Amino acid sequence: MNSFDVVVIGSGPGGYVSAIRCAQLGFKTAIIEKYPTLGGTCLNVGCIPSKALLASSHHVEEIAHFADHGIELAGEVKVDLAKMIDRKQAVVDQTCSGVKYLMDKNKITVFEGVGSFENATTINVTKNDGSVESIEAKHTIIATGSKPSTLPFITLDKERIITSTEALKLPEVPKHLIIIGGGVIGLELGQVYLRLGAQVSVVEFADRILPTMDGAVSKELTKVLKKQGMKFYTSHKVQGVVREGDVVKVSAEDKKGEIVTLEGDYTLVAVGRRPYTDGLNADKAGVKLTDRGQVEVNDHLQTSVSNIYAIGDVVRGAMLAHKAEEEGVLVAEYLAGQRPHIDYNLIPGVVYTWPEVAAVGKTEEQLKAEGVAYKAGSFPFKALGRARASADTDGFVKILADKNTDEILGMHMVGARAADLIAEAVVAMEYRASAEDISRMSHAHPTFAEAIKEAALAATDNRALHV
C-alpha cells in the first residue's frame, strides 16, 4: 500500500495549492481528483470559464460604443457563440494543464478517482473502471468543494432549467433568460448573455441584489444593470418552475401576495452552492458534519479527527477560491509546525460584472448592527479624469473608518478594475492603516486608484479634492 505524509482529496484551488505548499515543506504528498482534469469547480466550471465568457462578451459591448471613439466598423457585428465557448474551453484547458505541470514539478502523486475513507488513515480511490486502490495517509486534507444548490420544488433538467455549469456551454443565446438568485453567479452569467442579446430577468428573494454586500454597492449596481437592460424582481419568492416544451415558466410571489409569472426559454437556478461530501464516507473516519452538511473544523481547520483537516467550500465561511487557497496554505504550514494565521475579515469579495464590484471588511449595515461609531467617505468614478477618458464613469469608492481612531474598517467599490483595486484596501487594512494614511499616499495620475485616495480624503475630514 502506498503511504503518504499528506493526502489531499480534491484538486480545486484550495486542494492543489495546499498540496503544493505541503510538497514545498518536505511532505510526501498525493492528491485525489475524481475528474479527468485538475482544478476543481473554479478552473473547470466556475471562476475561469465564466471570466473568459465575461471577457469575450465585454468586447461585444465595447464594439457597440466604438463610434463614440471615432472608430467606424463596416458591416454588422456578428457573435459566434460556439467559437466563444470554444475559446473559453481553450482557456480552461490551458489553466488545468498548468495545474498538472505544477503537480509534476512538485513531485505530487496524482490519483484519478473518487477518494473515500476506509478509516482515519486509509483512503480508497475508486477509479472509473471500478477498480479500487487503497493508500495510507498520515494526514488528510478534505478539499472536496461545493456543488450548485437548488430549491426543493425545482427539477433541474440541465437543458432548459439549468445551473451555472450548463450556462457556460449553451447551444444558443437565450431569447429570455430568467435567473433565480441575484447573487454573484447569477449576475455575472446574466450579464454575459445580456451583452449577447438576451433579455435577462433576475428574481431575488431578498429586497436587493447582492444582499450580503454593502447596501450602497447593491443600489449602484442595480442602477447600472437596469440601464444596461437587465430587469429585476426583488422581494419575490419563487413558487414554481415549470417547463413546457422550449418554454420555462417561473412564478413568484411579491410582498403583497401577488403572483408574477415570467416566461423564458432558459431558467438559470443560481441560489448558491452546497458543500460537497458525497461519496467521502466521512463517518467511517469519524469526521463530523454540521447540520448544513459542512465539515466541522476548529480554528486550525482540524476536524473531529486529529489527523484530518478540511478547507474551502466544504467548511464554514465564504465560498471563495482565494479563501480556500489561504486555508490550504494554513493547514500545510500548521502541519509543518509553523504558526500561520488568516484574518477572515480581510478576505475580499469580488463580482466580475462590468462595472466590477469589490469589497473587504465590514459593511455599513454591519457596523450599525454592531453599534460601532464610524465615519464614511465616498468618491464617484465620474469625477476621475481616467474614468472619463476610458468612458467608465459608473460607480464609486466608499471607505468606512472608525470615528475615533480613523482606522479603516471596510472598503466597498463599484467601478472599472475594482477587482484589482481592492488589493490596496486589503494591504491597508492588514497593516491597520487609517483613512488619513491612504489620503497622504501619492497615487499616480490619471488612474482609477485615485478614487481610493479621494474617498480616504472624504472619510478623513470631508475634504475630497475633485468633487
Q: Which residues are annotated as a binding site?
A: 51, 115, 144-146, 181-188, 204, 272, 313, 319-322
Calpha distance 466→377 (Å, rounded): 13
Calpha distance 460→427 (Å, rounded): 18
Calpha distance 18→196 (Å, rounded): 38
Q: Which of 65, 341, 445, 466 is catalytic?
A: 445
> Can you give the chain as a three-state secondary structure string?
CEEEEEEEECCCHHHHHHHHHHHHCCCCEEEEECCCCCCHHHHHHCHHHHHHHHHHHHHHHHHCCHHHHCCCCCCCCCCCHHHHHHHHHHHHHHHHHHHHHHHHHCCCEEEECEEEECCCCEEEEECCCCCEEEEEEEEEEECCCEEECCCCCCCCCCCCEECHHHHCCCCCCCCEEEEECCCHHHHHHHHHHHHCCCEEEEECCCCCCCCCCCHHHHHHHHHHHHHHCCEEECCCEEEEEEEECCEEEEEEECCCCCEEEEEECEEEECCCEEECCCCCCHHHHCCCECCCCCECCCCCCECCCCCEEECHHHCCCCCCHHHHHHHHHHHHHHHCCCCCCCCHHHCCEEECCCCEEEEEECCHHHHHHHCCCEEEEEEEHHHCHHHHHHCCCCCEEEEEEECCCCEEEEEEEEECCHHHHHHHHHHHHHCCCEHHHHHCCCCCCCCCCHHHHHHHHHHHHCCCCCC
Which residues fall in the annotated binding site for NAD(+)? 181-188, 204, 272
| Contact (CB, 8 A) for 231 and 201 | yes
Which residues fall in the annotated binding site for FAD? 51, 115, 144-146, 313, 319-322
Could you tell me which residues come within 8 angstroms of residue 345 by beta carbon, excluding any fewer than 6 positions away? 360, 361, 362, 429
| Contact (CB, 8 A) for 116 and 280 | yes
Could you tell me which residues come within 8 angstroms of residue 329 by beta carbon, excluding any fewer than 6 positions away? 17, 18, 21, 340
Has 139 been annotated as catalytic? no
Residue 179 φ/ψ, nearest 5 degrees: -110, 125
Active-site residues, by number, are 445
